[in-house]
Amino acid sequence: MKKKTEIQQIDLEDQFKKLEDIIHSSNTFFLACHINPDGDTIGSMLALWSVLRRLGKKVTMYSQDPVPQNLNFLPNTCHITSRLPRRKFDAGIMLDFSSPSRGGNIASVLKKCKNTACIDHHKTAEGYADINIVEPLASSTAEIVYRLFYNMTAAVNKREAAYLYVGMVTDTGRFMYQATSARTMEAAARLMETGFKFYRINEAIFSSKPKEHLKILGRALESMEIKAGGKLAVLTVTQKDFHDFGANPEHTEGVINYGLMPYSVQAVIMFREEESHINVTFRSKGLIDVALVAKQFGGGGHRQASGCKMKVPLDEAKEMVISHVLAKISAALEKKSAKKNKADLSLGKKETEESLTAKADSEKTNDKPAAKTEISEQSKEKTGK
């Protein structure tokens, strides 16, 4: 792979064209999703795998971690391997991760790829591949992959449409998050036109949960701490919690979102204690940029959703992260207050000016009838009437 490219300097149309050329000229492909895979990285990878195979390509899909239980209903997940291939590839394509380390232990494979490409929508993307298609304003990587297919005039079939829909609907929180755009909805509508049963996908992902997930959810909610005058919620899931319920980290999927439900809360942190590290995830309603928070601790993500890993004891991780987030919230509130005061002063000044102008106009208006009366009296004297 080449030297990192600044994302701001990327010409997206040029990058799309280069990837299209590589797809057409290459025969063997290595596709990788990020560690602890979610619906976007899995759905995007499966869709690209399927289209490439229809083009007659030989494709290997890799995931360091198992496919989540709630995505096992998707066809062809059995073709995703967790064993690193030793062969060389014409192209390696990384889906939905901003740095090579987020793909796990794939460095040795990428060195054997003639060309590498990254398709991602995280603003913290490092531009580490030969080709970097990074759109921070896109709702999901699946939306970008759909655009790639559109540019290639590769009509997706019903199954490929379902894969991409999974990526979009999960990364947008059922099209609720701020990154959802008109373009997102248009792409989803076109995918639905293929006729796949979207309601069954929604039911499988959002309405069916293993009992371990519900137990962990209850324990996480019991642990909830409210800080910063109600602006911050903190959830904690410990190794003991996993042991008590026979659960694993996969069963915490989506738990953090409950921390944003209290009316006053603007941000939530969830600490998940694992054997080798502490997994920290962040969500925000927009008051603070949690991508920058995660980056401070070696992670990344989006303005309203991000995460990182810390190799320190749980108590130490909580102290470091919470104090940092509290400072960010305090600074954001001060900035918001200053902006409001400035706006109030500006409004007050405008109202004062408008009041003085209105008063002056009123005085002019009051003077006019008097002048007319005087003129009228003079006229009467002249006419003798």
Total of domains in the chain:
2
On whether both 72 and 184 belong to a single domain, the answer is: yes
Contact by Cβ (8 Å): 42, 74: yes
On whether both 90 and 235 belong to a single domain, the answer is: no
User: pLDDT, tens digit, for every residue of 287-323?
Assistant: 999 999 999 999 988 899 999 999 999 999 999 999 9
Displacement of CA 345 from its chain's centroid (Å)? 36
Distance, in Å, from the CA atom of 195 to the CA atom of 343, rounded to the nearest integer, reads 51
In a domain, 351, yes or no: yes
pLDDT at 348: 66
Contact by Cβ (8 Å): 96, 40: yes
On whether both 112 and 151 belong to a single domain, the answer is: yes
On whether both 162 and 233 belong to a single domain, the answer is: no
pLDDT at 385: 43
On whether both 192 and 341 belong to a single domain, the answer is: no
Taking CA atoms, 293 is separated from 44, 306, 316, in Å, by 27, 8, 16
State how beta strands 278-284 and 267-273 pair. antiparallel
Element (H, E) at 341: helix 314-383
Q: What is the b/e burial string over 254-279, where b = at least 16 CB atoms within 10 angstroms of the residue's CB?
A: ebbebbeeeeebbbbbbbbbeeeebb
User: pLDDT, tens digit, for every residue of 39-83?
Assistant: 999 999 999 999 999 999 999 999 999 999 899 999 999 999 999
What's the CATH number where 76 sits?
3.90.1640.10
pLDDT at 383: 47
Mean pLDDT, range 147-153, rounded to an integer: 96
DSSP line for 274-328: -SS-EEEEEEESSSS-HHHHHHHTT-EE-SSEEEEEE-S-HHHHHHHHHHHHHHH
**pTM higher than 0.85 for the full model?**
no
User: pLDDT, tens digit, for every residue of 245-270?
Assistant: 999 999 999 999 999 999 999 999 99
What average pLDDT does the chain have? 90
On whether both 151 and 13 belong to a single domain, the answer is: yes
Domain containing residue 348: 210-385
On whether both 112 and 161 belong to a single domain, the answer is: yes
On whether both 203 and 214 belong to a single domain, the answer is: no
In a domain, 198, yes or no: yes
In a domain, 216, yes or no: yes
Identify the domain boundary among 144, 177, 207: 207
State how beta strands 300-301 and 58-62 pair. unpaired
Q: Give start and end residues of each alpha helix (H) in 152-210.
A: 158-171, 182-192, 198-202
How sure is the predictor about 339, in pLDDT bands with cuts at 50, 70 and 90?
A: confident
